[in-house]
Amino acid sequence: MQTITRVAELRSNLAKSRGADRRVGLVPTMGYLHDGHMALIAASQAQCDVTVVSIFVNPTQFGPNEDLSSYPRDFLRDEELCRDGGVAILFAPDTQEVYRSHFETFVEPGDLAKPLCGVFRPGHFRGVATVVCKLFNMVQPDVVFFGQKDFQQCAVVRRMVIDLNLPIEMVTVPTVRERDGLAMSSRNRYLSKEERQRALAINRGLSAALDEFRSGERNVEKLIAVARGHLEAVDRLQYLELVDGDTLKTADSPLRRPAALCAAAYVGSTRLIDNVLLGCQLGSAMRG
């Protein structure tokens, strides 16, 4: 595995792979890798000849009171995990390499960035779309891999790929969970033992609603109420919404289209997100 920090070196190295007609996969991350990231890497390994993992804690997607400075980092551990996972290139640029002096050009996402997390994290998806577009331009992958846990992020990036005619296939990999059901996240390390137990209420609520859906329930209000009944253990429920799987607009009753039940909640000072899909798999692979 090569660890590369400069765009010019990255492009030079990948030009050799493209010259040999090798299929390049990209797994964009902010580091502090866990089994969810490793599932993305494994998916790339299965579908591509060359897997690139990027590690970059992107400052433009953090708000002024969010955890940019304390976001968990362990680069040596990440490097070892990538090497063990068969990654060909670990791309780890610093902030100056990504955002040169006087940087002022951003990708402005549309309506998909407005609901759910967009209400509470203004500017977040502008930062996400911008850095992801830059990584796509730096790596020029054939395929990119994202996790379903970040459902709205996937929708925003997928729309960008289509709208900007990017020649990239986007694959969404199902959420990987801990044995107790908690969705894997780099932020889980913030939880105390007691908080972690209470955090399990999120998955319990979503799973209960999914069970009702599988039993035939199609009323949006009833499905939300089933999930909400399990979420009293969290300290603050930021949102719990059932949205159309394509538009992210509030789903209509009775449900006739693929939808997603999405939640964001604080347990202690840690903000956690999760979701379940109601209906067929949404956007598992798409090319611009």
**Residues involved in catalysis:** 37
> Alpha-carbon dihedral of residues 136, 126, 114, 40, nearest 10 degrees?
40
Q: What are phi and psi of 5, to 5 degrees?
A: -115, -10
Q: Can you spell out the DSSP letters for 110-132?
A: -GGGSSTHHHHSTTHHHHHHHHH
266 class by beta-carbon count within 10 Å (0-12 exposed, 13-18 middle, 19+ buried): middle
CA-CA distance, 236 to 230, in Å (whole number)?
13
Are the CB atoms for 191 and 199 separated by under 8 Å?
yes
∠ CA 21-168-263, rounded to 5°: 140
Query: Order of strands, edge to edge, in the sheet holding 236-244?
Result: 236-244, 259-267, 270-278
In angstroms, how far is CA 21 from the centroid of its own chain? 29
Sign of the dihedral defined by the CA atoms of residues 203, 208, 214, 220, in that order: negative
